[in-house]
Chain A
Amino acid sequence: EAGVTQSPTHLIKTRGQQATLRCSPISGHTSVYWYQQALGLGLQFLLWYDEGEERNRGNFPPRFSGRQFPNYSSELNVNALELEDSALYLCATRAGGPEDYSGANVLTFGAGSRLTVL
């Protein structure tokens, strides 16, 4: 079974440009989460999509946006790039539905997309 796939692996942009990152979930997973991991820091929650809708967003400006497609894949868009947007962007997916504390419904992460803003 294929895991969570993210593309591109690396992306280099300059200030003011736009970046688009993509995530394909594990088959059967309908929820997609995006996290930002700046160098030397922990993971900061960005966005959560479930069944095609944005369910929650973290404390990030509106220039961070995204969407989820009918096949449950997702895009993260970052507009007007700033130097501090340089980070590893991680996508994680899980099956949707009622909360499950059995451990079987954990978040499964992709390998990330490393964005460098020059």
Chain B
Amino acid sequence: AQKITQTQPGMFVQEKEAVTLDCTYDTSDPSYGLFWYKQPSSGEMIFLIYQGSYDQQNATEGRYSLNFQKARKSANLVISASQLGDSAMYFCAMREPLRSARQLTFGSGTQLTVLP
């Protein structure tokens, strides 16, 4: 079974609008961490936002927020006021410290294109 599922291979959004990138995960561990990374065409993975499984509130970092719905096992990334520079590949990832020895498991990614 897929640990991390990103069902949107590609998304388009108009500049200055908000966009939601979907991510669902599968784990039986009570303690885990969820991450979003951005990968521009240059290749480098850029950390955006983190959510711990015990965090009561949704994480926010500037224009990025994580819509964490634990019961549904979803961790959607919301980007507000999209900018042209947001065009990139976005990966959702999970760490299960009791199971995967601290490495991250990544989803297949969503290619976001911001239209002018």
Enumerate chain A interface residues (CB-CB to B < 8 A): 31, 33, 35, 41-43, 45, 48, 55-56, 58, 88, 90, 92, 99, 101-103, 106-112, 114
The reply to whether the CB of B105 lies closer than 8 angstroms to some CB of chain A is yes
Query: Given A43-B91, A101-B52, A106-B35, are A112 and B106 neighbors across the interface (CB < 8 Å)?
Result: no
Provide 16 A-B residue pairs closer than 8 Å at the C-beta atoms, listed in order of the A residue: A42-B91, A42-B109, A43-B91, A43-B93, A45-B103, A90-B43, A92-B45, A102-B52, A103-B59, A108-B47, A109-B37, A109-B45, A110-B44, A111-B42, A111-B43, A114-B43
Report the Cα distance A45→B100, complex, angstroms.
Answer: 10
Interface size class of B (residues with CB under 8 A): 20 to 34
Across the interface, do B50 and A43 meet the contact criterion of CB distance under 8 Å?
A: no
Residues on B with C-beta less than 8 A from A35 are: 106
Which among B44, B52, B102, B103 is the interface contact of A112 at CB below 8 angstroms? B44
Tell me the residues in window 66-94 of chain B with beta carbons closer than 8 Å to chain A beta carbons.
Answer: 91, 93
Across the interface, do B101 and A109 meet the contact criterion of CB distance under 8 Å?
A: no
Across the interface, do B107 and A42 meet the contact criterion of CB distance under 8 Å?
A: yes
Across the interface, do A55 and B108 meet the contact criterion of CB distance under 8 Å?
A: no
Enumerate chain B interface residues (CB-CB to A < 8 A): 31, 33, 35, 37, 42-47, 50, 52, 54, 59, 91, 93, 97, 100-109
Report the Cα distance A114→B103, complex, angstroms.
Answer: 21
Residues on A with C-beta less than 8 A from B45 are: 43, 90, 92, 107, 109
The 3 closest A-B pairs by CB, nearest first: A109-B45, A103-B50, A111-B44
Across the interface, do A107 and B104 meet the contact criterion of CB distance under 8 Å?
A: yes
Residues on A with C-beta less than 8 A from B108 are: 41-42
Which among A55, A88, A99, A106 is the interface contact of B50 at CB below 8 angstroms? A106
Residues on A with C-beta less than 8 A from B31 are: 101
Kindly provide the distance from the CB of A3 to the nearest chain B CB, expressed in whole angstroms.
8
Report the Cα distance A10→B40, complex, angstroms.
Answer: 17
Residues on B with C-beta less than 8 A from A41 are: 108
